């Protein structure tokens, strides 16, 4: 796009990302009136824009997990049971009319039969929507087809039946306390934390060239995984993606393509057949 004598880069923001911007389009001067130079700069801006939009989508989407430790499953189950018991207790503390009390008892009897039958059969299909809603609202994103998802659904059904039994005891006037909420999970350090601690370690004396090579690797970690990602959540696929970028990264990428993400520098370098970093 040309305005006056100067060429401009123009791109419309994707519909799904429009809330991130105040305008509907991006206009940026390419700083040249030369057509050939503008064409080259436009290619760079297009790649940079696409990379930025892709990064925004990555940050917006909470990564779904395919695996959970037994401790994590136990913590999810305990939190779910606590929520059920707490809600039931609050409802009773507000006071139940005769009609509400009878209705609650009848509902418990009916639901308990269905839930126990499904638990005996290992059938969570009827309850999955409700369970997934609770998981999502509590920050647990699981791959739908994963073994972890199946394990959690079955465990939640067990906790639901346990709650129904406990609520039935309360219905009979028995004292059944609501258990305390599980302690917050120890999330561990982020990628950014580990990078900072490693580079700030006073016991290590590194040559400037070594520091530079580390920085390229750490930059790739931050750009492709995110500095706020928990180190424990970094996957093998993440590591392979970082390795592939580093192997294909042009030499002196920061000087050749200043301000450009490393993944974008790889693409730009391939276009001009720039030499890449050695595998060693």
DSSP string, 195-229: HHHHHT-TT----HHHHHHHHHHHHHHHHHT-TTS
The pLDDT, as a whole number, for residue 279 is: 46
**Starting from the edge strand earliest in sequence, which strands make up the sheet with 2-3, in order?**
2-3, 6-12, 25-29
Confirm whether 35 is domain-assigned. yes
The pLDDT, as a whole number, for residue 61 is: 57
Which long-range contacts link 266-271 to residues 24+ away (Cβ below 8 Å)? 267/47, 268/43, 268/44, 268/47, 271/43
Cβ atoms of residues 266 and 248 within 8 Å = yes
The number of beta carbons lying within 10 Å of the beta carbon of residue 257 is 21
Confirm whether 205 is domain-assigned. yes
- Is the same domain home to 195 and 260? yes
- Is the same domain home to 154 and 211? no
Confirm whether 212 is domain-assigned. yes
The pLDDT, as a whole number, for residue 189 is: 85
- Is the same domain home to 106 and 146? yes
- Is the same domain home to 105 and 146? yes
Q: What total number of domains does the chain contain?
A: 3
Confirm whether 230 is domain-assigned. yes
- Is the same domain home to 78 and 103? yes
- Is the same domain home to 89 and 142? yes
Mean pLDDT across the chain:
85
| Nearest alpha carbon to residue 108 among 152, 181, 172 | 172
- Is the same domain home to 88 and 163? yes
- Burial class, 241, CB count within 10 angstroms (exposed 0-12 / middle 13-18 / buried 19+): middle
Confirm whether 54 is domain-assigned. yes
Confirm whether 276 is domain-assigned. no
Cα–Cα dist 100/88, whole Å:
13
- Is the same domain home to 259 and 199? yes
Prediction pTM value: 0.52
- Is the same domain home to 94 and 162? yes
The pLDDT, as a whole number, for residue 60 is: 55
- Is the same domain home to 109 and 76? yes
The pLDDT, as a whole number, for residue 175 is: 97
Confirm whether 221 is domain-assigned. yes
Domain carrying residue 30: 2-60
- Is the same domain home to 81 and 134? yes
- Is the same domain home to 105 and 153? yes
Residue ranges of the chain with pLDDT lower than 70?
A: 1-4, 20, 55-63, 185-187, 202, 206, 277-280
Confirm whether 27 is domain-assigned. yes
Could you tell me the two tokens for 17? 């990302």
Q: Where a domain ends, among 33, 60, 87?
A: 60
pLDDT in tens, 173-208: 999 999 998 887 666 788 888 887 877 776 777 677
| Nearest alpha carbon to residue 238 among 207, 270, 263, 271 | 263
């Amino acid at each position: 796009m040309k305005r006056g004598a100067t060429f401009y880069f123009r791109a419309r923001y994707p519909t799904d990302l429009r809330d991130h911007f105040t305008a509907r389009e991006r206009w940026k001067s390419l700083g040249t009136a030369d057509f050939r130079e503008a064409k080259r700069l436009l290619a760079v801006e297009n790649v940079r824009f696409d990379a930025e939009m892709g990064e925004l989508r990555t940050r917006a989407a909470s990564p779904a997990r395919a695996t959970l430790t037994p401790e994590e499953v136990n913590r999810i189950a305990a939190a779910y049971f606590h929520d059920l018991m707490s809600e039931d207790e609050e409802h009773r503390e507000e006071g139940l009319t005769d009609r509400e009390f009878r209705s609650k008892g009848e509902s418990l009897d009916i639901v308990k039969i269905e839930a126990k039958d499904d638990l005996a059969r290992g059938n969570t299909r009827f309850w999955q929507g409700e369970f997934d809603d609770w998981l999502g609202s509590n920050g647990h994103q699981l791959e739908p087809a994963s073994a972890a998802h199946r394990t959690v659904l079955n465990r939640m059904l067990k906790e639901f039946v346990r709650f129904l039994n406990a609520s039935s005891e309360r219905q009979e006037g028995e004292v059944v306390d609501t258990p305390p909420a599980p302690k917050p999970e120890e999330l561990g350090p982020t990628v950014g934390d580990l990078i900072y601690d490693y580079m700030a370690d006073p016991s290590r004396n590194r040559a400037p060239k070594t520091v530079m090579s580390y920085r390229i690797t750490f930059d790739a970690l931050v750009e492709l995984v995110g500095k706020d990602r928990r180190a424990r959540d970094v996957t093998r696929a993440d590591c392979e993606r970082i390795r592939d970028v580093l192997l294909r990264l042009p030499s002196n990428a920061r000087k050749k393509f200043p301000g450009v993400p490393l993944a974008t520098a790889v693409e730009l370098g391939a276009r001009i057949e720039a030499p890449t970093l050695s595998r060693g």
